[in-house]
Structure 1
Amino acid sequence: MRFTIASLATVLVGAVAVLAAPTPRYTGCKLSGISIPSEAFVDPNNSSNTLPGVAQNEQLAKIVLGYGSQNYSCTNGVPTPHGAVATLYDLSCAFMVSPEWADVLTRGAVQMDPTAQLAGIQMLKNMFNAQFIAGVHYFKGDFATPAFEFVDKTKFIGGVGGKIPALLGSDVGKRPLNFGAVPSLKLVAKQGMGSTFSSIYRLHTAGGVAPKTCDWAGEKQIPYAAQYWVYKSK
């Protein structure tokens, strides 16, 4: 989605209205009535290719913004995925304003300097006495097992259960590393791993794609951001 000055101004006015309410909430807002837009499940280039839908026995438990890096090694001149690392931020109250506001935050995150962002989050935490950091996302040693650990002691360990290209118009990444946005995913919990949640959708991605060829040694980190919609079995 692309934003005009007018539409962005409307979103910002809505944000001010919510945060200026008699009892403002900055984190931990209720998610009842919020659902993934239908277009987010559909491959933008092939309408017959879709992400598996949310199961009838699942309910939305969290929406978080992940900001960090998709990591790659270089093998014979070709980038090889080495998992990802991200800090997770509570997006629930952003959705009280509008999905567009949450999208603005996702797009803005990928362009920010990590040190400056963490300093800004700490400042907001002190100002509003709110815990914006919701957890961390990383990969197990096989680089094929995504894990999420949340500050409330809940967790998710899973694998890919579906993949489609990023939405049309997705942010292609932090300049000048604007190689594209990583795909949308459905992650499903692995049995016997003690996951609190049943599935997670990675949506509204920004950045994270490596160049098509490489010549670096060690590991290269490509900044990315994404919304993670976390579901729990009822």
Structure 2
Amino acid sequence: MHASVISMAALAACALAAPKFPQLDLDAAQPGSLEAVSEYFNLLAYKVQESRYLREAPACDLSKAQQPIAPTPLPPPTAGLILKHVAIGRGTQNYTCDANNATAVPVANGALATLFNASCVAAAYPDMLNMLPRVALLFNLTAPPVPSESAPVLSPASVRMAPSNLTVSGVHFFTNATTPYFNLDTDGGLSLGQIPCAKNNTADAPADAPRGQEGETAVPWLKLIAKDGATGDLQEVYRVETAGGSAPATCEGMPASFEVQYSAQYWFYSGKPE
């Protein structure tokens, strides 16, 4: 694929328009958040200016993409696998609490996120890619997806990830307490497959990882491997460059169930080229 999916000029135009989904919630913004958005727009403007001097659009070649490495590195992709897709996940980490025990530790209860196609950003603009989880978390969720077994795909053409103009490439949810599921078969868009996963390995997020809207720390980085039922020859998934999403230390003052907003990069590997 030699033509970049991302038009920097179009990206800039959309970024400057008032996005309808998600919307920036200034009341929920953390100290320094407006500076982060400004930093993103400054880098975007630089990339737009830089692109004017290129003879052709940057190639959308995932073989050039370099997955971020955790301070304590996760195991690398299995030999022979190739990078098939990179997405920004924007959604919620979900938890439950024992309402009668303030000292109890919140229990993870899955996650729910829309996945936005960032493959060409990963290939051509890695510095912008690594900013996206942080700035995406500043745009509040106004219409989160509600997938189910009967309707697990969300791909309305109007949905874009503010402030980047990335389009939907799939959805992430849990089919049970231990099975994260990724559906990359979008309606009218990409058809990259679906993958139920099991956790293979975990690593703490960097100490300076972006905190969430309430100041919570970033959830760990993960390596996931396919369970039975994966399609599109999808075999491994990495969650990296996380932002926010962690539960409080105890259930004190928390309801029986609650959500914590987060964002992350997801890297998908398969056993064969597209």
Q: Does the Cα contact within 8 Å between 1:11 and 1:98 map onto a contact in 2?
A: no
Q: Does the Cα contact within 8 Å between 2:43 and 2:128 map onto a contact in 1?
A: no
Residue 74 of structure 1 pairs with residue 97 of structure 2? yes
The 5 A counterparts of 1:65-104 are 65-75=88-98, 76=101, 77-104=104-131
Q: Match of 2:173?
A: 138
Secondary structure at the aligned position of 1:65 is classed as strand
1:123–1:230 Cα change, 3 Å: closer
TM-score (norm 2): 0.68
Secondary structure at the aligned position of 1:198 is classed as strand
Residue type matched to 1:68 in 2? G
- Count residues in correspondence: 213
Q: Percent identity, aligned pairs only? A: 30
1:7–1:155 Cα change, 3 Å: closer
Structure 1 unaligned runs (5+)? 44-49
Supply the distance in 1 between the matched residues of 2:52 and 2:246 (Cα, whole angstroms).
Answer: 35
User: CA offsets, 1:98-123, max 9 Å, x none?
Assistant: 212012221111121112899xx837
> Alignment partner for residue 207 of structure 2, among 155, 165, 168?
168
Residue type matched to 1:133 in 2? V
Q: Match of 1:122?
A: 158
Structure 2 unaligned runs (5+)? 1-34, 146-156
Supply the distance in 1 between the matched residues of 2:211 and 2:44 (Cα, whole angstroms).
Answer: 22
1:72–1:19 Cα change, 3 Å: farther
Q: Does the Cα contact within 8 Å between 1:41 and 1:52 map onto a contact in 2?
A: no
- My pick for the range that moved more, 92-101 or 162-171, is 92-101
1:145–1:19 Cα change, 3 Å: farther
- My pick for the range that moved more, 163-172 or 59-68, is 163-172
Supply the distance in 2 between the matched residues of 1:16 and 1:159 (Cα, whole angstroms).
Answer: 43
Supply the distance in 1 between the matched residues of 2:217 and 2:57 (Cα, whole angstroms).
Answer: 36
> Alignment partner for residue 36 of structure 1, among 67, 75, 82?
67
